[in-house]
Amino acid sequence: MSIGLGIAGFGIVFFSSVLMLGLAFLHRKKPSVFRDIPAFTRLRQAVGLVVEDGSRLHVSLGHGALTTPQSASALAGLALLHRLANLTSAGDQPPISTSGDATLAILSQDTLQAAARTSERANFDPTAGRLTGLTPFSYAAGAIPAIRDENVSANVLMGNFGVEVALLTDAAERENSFVLAGSDNLVAQAVIYATAQEPLIGEEVYAAGAYSEAGPLHTASLSVQDVLRWLIIAAILVGALLTLAGVL
């Protein structure tokens, strides 16, 4: 990367960081108001039902390896897993997590163990966070039995998926269980829109933390995304006008 490009990139990241920290500090006591995303409202209801009827929550994190850029959606999924594991800690059965990448499986075990520690649950089962396969289809094939056979009533599929996500949403629908699904992959988003009960499109995947009240930085990150989006729109419009004027 050239020095100029590096400085520009650093400038964007620095500006975003300052904005995020500043907004988190300013809004730390004030509850934020977001647009309604019905999927998250229904997720809260489904989580409530999981606790009430003693069933299980299943969170699937996809197969985006941590050393690749596709890991961001899985990391957002892990943050949601942590939040949901805490919310369902009063339930009879601890949540389970499936993933298609070994590093994600280890992190999901750690997250579930932390939730078990917080809720003072007597024993933590390390097989609750599991690797189900190392290729996209073997991962999906391995996750289907978890959806089908382990008394799961709510499924959250959040991470990097491909078209194989349809096999998971189909399995969940056959069990009449709740499905909220989101991915950073465009093809998977189209598949999710057609097959999932509650699809998340675009950046909605990254808003899960803010909608589940995970903390002020989650709330601030949504505002930062909005500010940056407006700046990008302005830059595109200015670029188009300058091109029309023959300057660019």
Residues in 222-241 at the binding interface with another protein, rule: CB under 8 A: 222, 224-225, 228-229, 232
Q: Does 63 bind another protein (CB under 8 A)?
A: no
Among 160, 170, 178, 184, which residue's Cα sits nearest to residue 43? 178
> Cα-flanking dihedrals φ and ψ of residue 245, to 5°?
-75, -5
Q: Which of 22, 54, 69, 239 lies at the binding interface for another protein (CB under 8 A)?
A: 69
Q: What is the number of other CB atoms lying within 10 angstroms of the CB of residue 115?
A: 23
Residue written as token pair 């089962």: 125
Among 198, 202, 168, 163, which residue's Cα sits nearest to residue 180? 198
Residues in 190-219 at the binding interface with another protein, rule: CB under 8 A: 191, 193-195, 197, 201-203, 205-207, 209, 214-215, 217-218
Q: Which of 37, 49, 51, 66 lies at the binding interface for another protein (CB under 8 A)?
A: 66
Q: Does 186 bind another protein (CB under 8 A)?
A: yes
Site string for another protein, 111-130 (x = CB under 8 A): x-xx--xx-------xx-xx
Residues, the chain, total? 248
Q: Does 177 bind another protein (CB under 8 A)?
A: no
Q: Tell me the C-alpha distance between 33 and 35, whole Å.
A: 7
Q: Which of 50, 59, 78, 157 lies at the binding interface for another protein (CB under 8 A)?
A: 78
Sheet strand arrangement including 129-131: 129-131, 96-99, 56-62, 152-160, 178-183, 198-200
Q: Does 88 bind another protein (CB under 8 A)?
A: no
Q: Which of 84, 157, 164, 181 lies at the binding interface for another protein (CB under 8 A)?
A: 164
Q: Does 107 bind another protein (CB under 8 A)?
A: yes
SS3 189: helix
Q: Minimum Å distance from CB 50 to another protein?
A: 20
Q: How many residues bind another protein (CB under 8 A)?
A: 83
Q: Does 23 bind another protein (CB under 8 A)?
A: no
Residue 102 tokens read as 């070994």
Q: Does 17 bind another protein (CB under 8 A)?
A: yes
Spatial contact of 81 and 117, defined as CB atoms under 8 Å apart: no
